Amino acid sequence: MSRVKVQFPHNNPLYIADIAVRITDINYGNHVGNDSILSIIHEARMQMLAHSGFTEMNAGGNSLIMADVTIAYKAESFYGDRLRIAIFADDIQSGSFSLLYKIETTRGDRTITIAHASTGMVCFDYEKRKIAPMRDELRAFLSAIA
């Protein structure tokens, strides 16, 4: 079986989020459910945007919409884990970009990789209901480290 792989750039992340695993993230297997990982990266993205003075409805003059997502699960995560989500920008185009998420936790003296994820983000004009060109403020934010 071929597995999806998320390739991270060799630069520093745009942002690092720290998110605790909630009891509602746990499934019947007593670990974080696959659907919760998607919610966790959404929360991390929202924290990054808010930290930079943006929202998904106004990121430097652009609204953002998620076009695709890839998640590669690496290890289990459990209630009480504190997840460190490093977010990187990649593949910055005229109206889209990718955000890459490296999700890790620490147990004792070990760092454990929980998942790698990628979201394809598109600049979107909700009034015209179509893709929009990326504005300079968003491009500058994404390119600051990318």
Tokens encoding 63? 């609204």
How far apart CA 66 and CA 29 sit, in angstroms, is 29
**4 — pLDDT class (breaks 50, 70, 90):** confident
Residue type, 92: I
Per-residue pLDDT of 17-70, as tens digits, reads 999 999 999 999 999 999 999 999 999 999 999 999 999 999 999 999 999 999
Rg from Cα positions in the chain: 16
Nearest to 20 by CA among 32, 12, 28: 32
**Backbone dihedral angles phi then psi of residue 49, each to the nearest 5 degrees:** -65, -45
- Residue 11: CB atoms within 10 A of its CB come to 12
Per-residue pLDDT of 81-106, as tens digits, reads 999 999 999 999 999 999 999 999 99
Show the domains of the chain with their CATH numbers.
Answer: 15-143 (3.10.129.10)
- The answer to whether residues 45 and 19 touch, using CB atoms and an 8 Å cutoff, is no
- The answer to whether residues 73 and 63 touch, using CB atoms and an 8 Å cutoff, is no
How far apart CA 135 and CA 60 sit, in angstroms, is 7
Per-residue pLDDT of 111-133, as tens digits, reads 999 999 999 999 999 999 999 99
**145 — pLDDT class (breaks 50, 70, 90):** low
